[in-house]
Chains A and B, each alone.
Chain A
């Protein structure tokens, strides 16, 4: 099973809202990732967790806050977003950081 699940599939939020994106994998992978993808562009890395510790934070604004409660779960907490944050947010996991990544279906986020 190479499935990564993400919820919700779609999210519309106002600039003053607080919401969370969730990601789950049951492949025993020890690295998990958040990416942001704009239309017709490749994914942009936001955060990497390795063995439940944040190992990469690609200068992402503080209105995005990641959390890794355990090795199977990854959350992305959103607060005071801007309209330009509207995008597809992808979660991925891999056996460890140099191995192939498996992606979830994404959450389509619209900030109004």
Chain B
């Protein structure tokens, strides 16, 4: 079945460091891919999305490219801030079904 695998956390970075959070997926069809962010005590916020191969999603300095050949959707940011400290979830939606699959989440802490 479909699934999402995220890199283990927690991740601790210094402010202005480069961020990569790895996400790979398994899917039978052509899924849509998402990154969500959850700040402490809040719900999940959609950060970015990509609906087909080679699409690049971007928002608030974060980017991720839908790579069909490597079944990956890695999240990157060139310079993280303390305010980026949160838990990041990679997710997949089947294009024909009705299920959303979440990765296990990666906790990011950015220190000044």
Q: How many of A's residues come within 8 Å of B, CB to CB?
A: 26
Do A45 and B42 have beta carbons less than 8 Å apart? no
C-alpha spacing A99/B104, complex, angstroms: 20
Distance from A44 Cβ to chain B, minimum over Cβ atoms (Å): 9
Q: Considering the complex, which residues of chain B in the window 43-98 have a beta carbon less than 8 Å from any beta carbon of chain A?
A: 43-46, 49, 87, 89, 93-98
Distance from B96 Cβ to chain A, minimum over Cβ atoms (Å): 7
C-alpha spacing A90/B46, complex, angstroms: 14
C-alpha spacing A31/B100, complex, angstroms: 12
Q: Is the interface of B mostly helix, strand, loop or mixed?
A: strand
Do A100 and B43 have beta carbons less than 8 Å apart? no
C-alpha spacing A90/B34, complex, angstroms: 18
Do A98 and B89 have beta carbons less than 8 Å apart? no
Contacting residues, chain B, for A101 (C-beta < 8 A):
46, 100
C-alpha spacing A102/B99, complex, angstroms: 15
Do A41 and B105 have beta carbons less than 8 Å apart? yes
Do B98 and A103 have beta carbons less than 8 Å apart? no
Report A38-61 CB contacts with B as 1/0, cut-off 8 Å.
001111010010100001100000
Do B93 and A102 have beta carbons less than 8 Å apart? no
Contacting residues, chain B, for A45 (C-beta < 8 A):
99-100
B43, B102, B105, B107: the one within 8 Å of A104 (CB) = B43
Do A50 and B49 have beta carbons less than 8 Å apart? no
A97: interface (CB < 8 Å): yes
B22: interface (CB < 8 Å): no
Distance from B71 Cβ to chain A, minimum over Cβ atoms (Å): 19
B32: interface (CB < 8 Å): yes
Report B27-40 CB contacts with A as 1/0, cut-off 8 Å.
00000101010000
Do A98 and B96 have beta carbons less than 8 Å apart? yes
Do A98 and B93 have beta carbons less than 8 Å apart? yes
Nearest to A99 among chain B residues (CB) is B93
